[in-house]
A = this chain, B = another copy of it.
Amino acid sequence: MGATKTDHFSEEQNRLANRMKALGHPARIAIMEYLIQVDTCICGDIVNVLPLAQPTVSQHLKELKNAGLIKGSIEGTAICYCVDKDAIAELQRYLANANLQLENKEKQCC
């Protein structure tokens, strides 16, 4: 084995897991934080900001894009990447809801 059994879970569970997984690497967290921090999204210097080689960064960007967390568009010679606000908002809502359900629990044992 070694392959995730995606077919046994709901589409939402798989989509969520995919996005969480995309954020499940410190380099990709760092990329997201950088993209959020920089006010504009003309970001031709991500490679210089990270302690990783250019192909590695490119691959991480690709994974973030595949997970729908960032968007990219060609901007002349450079490429413009930015965070997909909706995706982050969706994740945030999901966790906020989980939080709410936990707050409303009566029995608390552990």
Contacts and interface: CB of A to CB of B under 8 A. Distances in A.
Interface of A: 4-6, 8-10, 13-14, 16-18, 20-30, 32-33, 36-37, 39-42, 51-52, 71-73, 80-83, 85, 88-89, 91-92, 95-96, 98-99, 101-103, 105-110
A43 B6 CA distance: 24
Contacts of A105: 39
Contacts of A42: 109
Task: Report whether over half of chain A's contact residues are helix, strand or loop; otherwise say mixed.
Answer: helix
B25 A21 contact: yes
Contact of A101 (B6, B37, B71, B108): B37
Given A81-B110, A96-B92, A109-B80, A102 B26 contact: no
